[in-house]
Amino acid sequence: MRVLSGIQPTGNLHLGNYLGAIRNWVRMQDEMDADSQCFFFLADMHSITVHEGREQRIRNVRDMAAALVAAGIDPDRSVLFNQARVPAHAELCWLLNGTARIGWLNRMTQFKDKAGKDREGASVGLFVYPVLQAADILIYNATHVPVGEDQKQHLELCRDIATKFNTDFGVDLFTLPAPIIPKESARIMSLRDGTAKMSKSDPSDMSRINLTDDDDAIMAKVKKAKSDQELLPETAEGLTGRPEASNLVGILATLTGRTTDAVCAEFAGKGFGAFKPALGEVLVETLRPIRQRFLELRTEDAALDAILDKGAAKAAAAAEPTLRAAYDAMGLMR
Ligand code: TYM
């Protein structure tokens, strides 16, 4: 079993990243047996699709490394690194650009969302972004990729690229990865709009809970979260057509390891005036220790750089045989 996943080091780690992906990374790391390996990385090469100044980009990578360690990624057990330190990702991406089809990339909903109306003005990097993502996964022959629901299409594309490369060059080089998507928290929604996903790029900070938010800010955001006037139903079925209510109940269920039915049963007949403080409490208690560790770690630049350097050396060694085989399969002499 080879587990791999990545996160863009832009802005803050938020509750959607944490519940949709990072918590699963930590679980998979903690349940790993001796034959398995976990690779977690900061997708800084992907983050060039968002304009950022030099100093900020450097800060973002260290901050996200600190956030992952604070959330439970152990750099002694998992390979933790940033993409830019392992050039094999970019090299394999270029080779796979010969395999990926424009028609496939044209179907990517994330590109359509991010490019918006001005597709002609979007960067080429944004368009080929999913090919680099495929390279990230295939270079390690990852078998399991824990991600949120929004990455499912990119994973399908990755499998298509792997299959076509293997077929075109008559090799059995790339392993087809399986997405690992949590059932309950695959899509954490915005606190301001239950139909939009919680995201770093939402201009309203009230739409998300950041790892850096203090106890008061978390409670205030939960209390101001959009909800509805109805009472909570006896079972989760009664949440149909109530996106904000479903999201808040889903978050509490995920945090407490219960089903949405169990949470509904507890609050049945009560309004959000009673529900929100309970949710806020659990969030505060869950995030406080992570935030405290993060605030300590993020001041230790040298230690963070050392973690990333060490991780990159391990990752580069693991990537090398696949990269060499890909060049060889294509008849490219290195
Ligand atoms: P990114 O940085 O947008 O998000 C990191 C992870 O968080 C998940 N996520 C969510 N899950 C549930 N609800 C939400 N509201 C929510 N928002 C984000 C994402 O699904 C993701 O798992 N392209 C990727 C990074 C990447 C990658 C890879 C992932 C690059 N190469 C290779 C896996 C394998 C991205 O931008 O994630």
Phi-psi region of 71 (alpha: psi -120 to 50; beta: other; left: phi over 0): alpha
Catalytic amino acids?
114, 197, 200
pLDDT of residue 92: 98
- CA proximity to 264, closest of 232, 242, 226, 228: 232
Best substitution site from 7, 41, 209 to test ligand 1's pocket, by max atoms within 8 Å of Cβ?
7
Q: Is the C-beta atom of 198 inside 6 A of ligand 1? A: yes
Tens of pLDDT, residue by residue over 180-223, are 999 888 899 999 999 999 999 899 999 999 999 999 999 999 99
Q: Residue 152 Cα, ligand 1 centroid: separation in angstroms?
A: 10
Nearest atom, ligand 1, residue 149 CA: 20
pLDDT of residue 12: 83
pLDDT of residue 11: 78
Residue nearest to atom 31 of ligand 1 (CA): 133
Q: Is the C-beta atom of 322 inside 6 A of ligand 1? A: no
Q: Residue 153 Cα, ligand 1 centroid: separation in angstroms?
A: 12
pLDDT of residue 184: 82
Q: Residue 10 Cα, ligand 1 centroid: separation in angstroms?
A: 11
Q: Residue 148 Cα, ligand 1 centroid: separation in angstroms?
A: 6
Best substitution site from 3, 15, 17 to test ligand 1's pocket, by max atoms within 8 Å of Cβ?
17
- Give CA torsion, residues 184, 189, 192, 195, to 10 deg: -110
> Encoding tokens for residue 79?
């390979």
List the chain residues with pLDDT less than 50. none
Residue nearest to atom 24 of ligand 1 (CA): 7
Instruction: Go through the domains of the chain in sequence order and give each one's CATH number.
Output: 2-186+301-329 (3.40.50.620), 205-296 (1.10.240.10)
Separation of alpha carbons 134 and 131, rounded Å:
5
Contact 231/270 with Cβ under 8 angstroms?
A: yes
Q: Residue 77 Cα, ligand 1 centroid: separation in angstroms?
A: 22
Best substitution site from 48, 79, 151 to test ligand 1's pocket, by max atoms within 8 Å of Cβ?
151
Phi then psi for residue 89, to 5 deg, are: -60, -50
The pTM of the full predicted model, rounded to 2 decimals, is 0.96
Q: Is the C-beta atom of 89 inside 6 A of ligand 1? A: no
Residue nearest to atom 26 of ligand 1 (CA): 6
Please give the single-letter amino acid code of residue 251: I
